[in-house]
Amino acid sequence: MGRIPHRPGGPWTGILLAASVLGSCLQPAPAQTLVTIVLTPPSPAVGGGVSLAPQKPPQDLLSCSWYRSATTDPSSRILTYFPGPPPVQTPGPAHTGRETAGPGCALHIAGLRLNDTGKYTVDIQSPTSPGLRTVHLLVSGGGSKRPPPEYENLPLQPGRAQG
């Protein structure tokens, strides 16, 4: 076998440069773990609270952001949680003051309202298993349709419509 002649600027220089660039771009992607979100309680009601907890969050969790939508649109971000130590949460534009985050990236919502029903998305940032997951929260009416106490037992007014 003969030697391949090498000249600076020859065709082999271009091929080696192209192979080097392509090789540096083709790094293996980190494995993504499918995260399941569990609602506790499973059927939350108006006035109560609920936790949306990712199951088996990554051990190397850097942060997670919760969104009040099926997308990660910045205007729908409820909060971002950094596990610390110490743990820190940063409220977003969709934060109502009733949401907090906890260990494992769980989102806790207190004082549930019917308009809390909808899609919630968590964006988990981790070097080994980043991922997005969306869950649907259904808040039930919870309770009877009784009128407020100030409207109970009022005498009927003649000539007035009743509603």
Single-letter amino acid code for the residue at 106: A
Give the pTM: 0.68
| Separation CA 116–CA 130 (nearest Å) | 26
pLDDT along the chain (163 residues), means of 10: 58 48 42 76 96 92 96 97 94 98 95 97 93 95 49 36 42
- CA angle 104–109–112, rounded 5-degree value: 155
